A and B are shown apart, each in its own frame.
Chain A
């Protein structure tokens, strides 16, 4: 199958650099799947699961959060805030984060300045837990 060059970077490392057949990520308006020879494209990323099928046809999943997906001349780049492969996720930590965020949200009203921050925290934790299990 045709492949494209995929790079996935986060501030502290390069999570993936190689050929891939497809990638599915959660953009802000829903899931987007990129296949080879996609038109030049860019969109901000939301918080959700990412599914990468590499050049050999193996599919790996990861928790991906924030940043940008950009396609340019069959070069696909995921410039994420965080990107953790299934194996790298710390389940205990994610569960703790979930509990903590839930507690925070209960004590807040929707108008609170930190409400969206806490909500995003909860979303990230839930995504990590879902990807891991």
Chain B
């Protein structure tokens, strides 16, 4: 009896060990990818903030009541740009994104522009209309791809296919925490002037603010999309790193537990043998 349980424990130790090797390797891969992903993310930050500022200034100084990218209209259909991962095994990374979309949509009909294979699979499965299924890689998504995507997005928006566009991505806050964010891309929300920025009112626009907005908004959205993709990828990799880190730790704990059990079983078997021999000798 003791022999067979010892064998079973030994087998389990082996299988846990090989799992640990895999999780360890994945953790290392994620760690090395994380450095580059973070670099890309940092580099994409200035454009996102500067372009947003310029866009808001243009919106503020635009006094025409009806500009296509700014004027809100009754919402019949929404479009979500969902950035998820290409693979699983990243803790709750993908699930959190989908959950956020679900909670946000609240029954409003929507279509999805998925980025990342997991997003494509998920919304295909749900039977939601997908605008594009070409982008399964978020890692290293080129800027040019973002331009193509925003061209498609803005064209659909102007044609009235959907009345609001939301961007769903995961914001990289630190190695330990990432947060899903939902941001309205279109229509652009008019923000009340924040006190000091009164000088914008005197800016000269050529030909005028509305024209400027019209030609610049798709470009800026592409930049926003790019920066969100970089952000999301950094989040994905660090989520995977953390998940694999704890998986490796758990595997290590399991192995030491099993070793203890194994040693006990072995000791038990030896003790029993000795007892048997002693009992035989006494007779």
Which A residues lie at the B interface, using CB under 8 A?
A: 7, 9-14, 27-29, 39-44, 66-68, 70, 72-73, 77, 79, 81-82
| Complex interface: chain B residues within 8 A of A68 (CB) | 51, 54, 212, 216, 219-220
Which B residues lie at the A interface, using CB under 8 A?
A: 40, 43-44, 46-48, 50-51, 54, 57-58, 143, 146-147, 199-200, 202-207, 209, 211-212, 215-216, 219-220, 222-223, 226-227
Asked whether A41 lies within 8 Å of B44 as measured between CB atoms, the reply is no
| Complex interface: chain B residues within 8 A of A43 (CB) | 205-207, 212
Partner of B226, one of A12, A27, A44, A79: A12
How many A-B residue pairs have C-beta atoms within 8 angstroms? Tell me: 91
| Complex interface: chain A residues within 8 A of B220 (CB) | 68, 79
CA distance A70 to B58 in the complex (A): 10
| Chain A facing B: main interface SS | strand
Asked whether A79 lies within 8 Å of B205 as measured between CB atoms, the reply is no
Asked whether A66 lies within 8 Å of B205 as measured between CB atoms, the reply is no
Asked whether A42 lies within 8 Å of B203 as measured between CB atoms, the reply is yes
| Complex interface: chain B residues within 8 A of A44 (CB) | 211-212, 215-216
Q: Name the CB-closest residue of A to B224.
A: A11
CA distance A112 to B47 in the complex (A): 33
23 A-B contacts, Cβ less than 8 Å apart? Answer: A9-B47, A10-B143, A11-B227, A12-B40, A12-B43, A12-B44, A14-B46, A39-B204, A40-B199, A40-B203, A42-B205, A43-B207, A67-B219, A68-B219, A68-B220, A70-B57, A72-B57, A72-B199, A72-B203, A73-B199, A79-B47, A79-B219, A82-B143
CA distance A41 to B219 in the complex (A): 19
Asked whether B147 lies within 8 Å of A42 as measured between CB atoms, the reply is no
CA distance A44 to B208 in the complex (A): 10
Asked whether A79 lies within 8 Å of B54 as measured between CB atoms, the reply is yes
Chain B nearest CB, measured from A69 CB (Å): 9
